[in-house]
Amino acid sequence: MTSGMAQAPEPSAAFGDWHGGQVTERALCVLCPNPSPMTLDGTNTWVLLEPGSTDAVVIDPGPLDEGHLRAVVDAVSARGARVAQTILTHGHADHAEGAGRFAELTGAPTRAVGRGHDDLTDGDVVTAGGLDLRVVATPGHTSDSLSFALAADHALLTGDTVLGRGTTVVAHPDGELAAYLASLERIARLTGDGEVTAILPGHGPVVPDASAMVAFYRTHRAERLEQVRQALADGAATAADPVLAVVERVYADVPREVWPAAAQSVAAHLDYLRARG
């Protein structure tokens, strides 16, 4: 994060202290051992199970990691349940690569946006063993990004749209800033009316104050957009590579290993500004 920008709410667990586990009455996180600058502590695979039910919903089985996939199956079995459905928040490999193998292990169908006859669309309600999960379309990080409202726990599972620590990438060219800003506004409305109080993210620890985190995300994006606009005005617009010139200025205090991801977000910001003249 660039100095002088809005500060994020304190995460509920420091890096290295988030290990998943049971976080609400219905939601269990099985943490994949794939930590990195982009995946934070690793990918959160969510097991959702209504108390007393034997039908579980799994969200984001994660990468093709046999040990992790079997750990998820074992976590479901330990609760006397089976996987009834698998759902993807989006198609990035760290969330979805293992879906095919997971289907072989469980026999459960996999559902997402644009993947066949079981496609999910905004407003759909996924049900399993008394569990109700409402689909909330939240494109922007990617075009296919979905969130899922678990009303019984006042929780929203956000994939990469809102993380448990830091901010996410608008993954240009598939990701798009205008859509992302609209998705944040939609989530803000859910937190404002009390439907959502906690966020269960795709990476990082659970967010106990959803409203504060979404407010930070919206402020951060507005500040970042102004930084990009100022960098262009200061000469980046005429550089041989405007995206790199903006990254070098705006993300100067960010580790270079995340610059490729920053470049995706900058490209999305430039497209947004061009579209608005």
Asked whether 136 and 186 are in contact (CB, 8 A), the reply is: yes
pLDDT score of 60: 98
What DSSP string runs through 98-116? THHHHHHHH---EE-SSSS
Per DSSP, what are the bridge partners of residue 22?
28
SS3 264: helix
Show pLDDT as tens, one digit a residue, over the chain (277 residues): 333 478 889 999 999 999 999 999 999 999 999 999 999 999 999 999 999 999 999 999 999 999 999 999 999 999 999 999 999 999 999 999 999 999 999 999 999 987 655 689 999 999 999 999 999 999 999 999 999 999 999 999 999 999 999 999 999 999 999 999 999 999 999 999 889 999 999 999 999 999 999 999 999 999 999 999 999 999 999 999 999 999 999 999 888 999 999 999 999 999 999 999 7
Residue with tokens 């993807």: 88
**Helices 242-250 & 259-275, crossing angle to 10 degrees?**
110
Q: Which sign, positive or negative, has the C-alpha torsion 162, 133, 196, 53?
A: negative
Asked whether 199 and 162 are in contact (CB, 8 A), the reply is: yes
What DSSP string runs through 38-53? TTBT-BEEEEE--TT-
- What pTM does this model have? 0.95
Distance from C-alpha of 135 to C-alpha of 58, rounded to nearest angstrom: 14
Distance from C-alpha of 70 to C-alpha of 75, rounded to nearest angstrom: 8
Classify residue 37 by burial, with Cβ atoms within 10 Å: 0-12, 13-18, 19+.
exposed
